[in-house]
Structure 1
């Protein structure tokens, strides 16, 4: 009787470990951040830039599409450059505690602005455009931003 009880307990323990052991030992992909859309994301100081992408028809000019969240207590002037050698800096004013959407449909609580025109990107749709984002004393970040065309319906009206 004791042998049967011990065997049942061992079997129950083995089943419990077998059923739960995978989650103890296996890598959990859900703990990793990923960009669930076509664009890329980055953080520059107190700013969170989400779903950053460029829409272009001809690869010469493109519209910068993104949402910027300023979690800081200060208004900032975000500088944006594109290309390997830098180039002209476009600046964008972002108020403290605000969320600003450039070229995308914004929720009612967000400010929505037109896309930012980038002239002379010289990057064909399907490729990546090197961009640099920086403000104030925050460390700037280089990021490879996807360049898409207007084939998808959600980008049809966003090409320059």
Structure 2
């Protein structure tokens, strides 16, 4: 009888933890450096701004569209003088990677934020109320972000060329005459 009582005590003691403390695996959180949000059929995941100088940044975000139709997503942020809007097409039943080399990008200019700060970015589509996320600003110090730092667009070089030489007009051709 004592063995049964001890076994029951051990069983209740080891399984009773869940009665008072929530399981850590059921708590949802952002597992990376970015932030996430939900907007209708869109799941905005791991949004972050990558900057080198605190003035220009690259918005890096994954957007999951669970709808059967493409969605036009409005991305908006407060620039120095006005709000800046950018519309992106998010493919149906797919994940669209924004800010990754070779894909769509949203360049944030005149950011005026240092690495480690938060910058508000607004996401909205259709007639739904949008969601504003406080997106972390990071730099390219970590190796995994070094390729995501915005680069200056190449400045085209103008090479002067020689003016074209004047081509003489062709001489008038003589008219054909008939023999007598």
Q: TM-score, normalised by structure 2?
A: 0.76
Identify the structure with bigger relative contact order (alpha carbons < 8 Å, sequence gap 6+).
Answer: 1
Is contact 2:58–2:148 with CA below 8 Å preserved after alignment? yes
For residues 110-121 of structure 1, what are the structure 2 equivalents within 5 Å? 113-121=103-111
Q: TM-score, normalised by structure 1?
A: 0.85
Which stretch shows the higher mean deviation, 59-68 or 79-88?
79-88
Long gaps (5+) in structure 1 = 106-111
Q: 3-state SS of the aligned residue for 2:126?
A: coil
For residues 10-159 of structure 1, what are the structure 2 equivalents within 5 Å? 10-83=5-78, 87-104=83-100, 113-159=103-149
Match of 1:109 in 2: none
Q: 1:12 deviation in Å?
A: 1.6
Q: Distance in 2 between matches of 1:152 and 1:125?
A: 12
Q: 1:146 deviation in Å?
A: 0.3
Aligned length: 149
Q: 3-state SS of the aligned residue for 1:89?
A: strand
Q: Distance in 1 between matches of 2:31 and 2:71?
A: 27
Deviations 1:2-35 (A, max 9, x none): xxx2x22222211111121112322212111111
Long gaps (5+) in structure 2 = 151-180
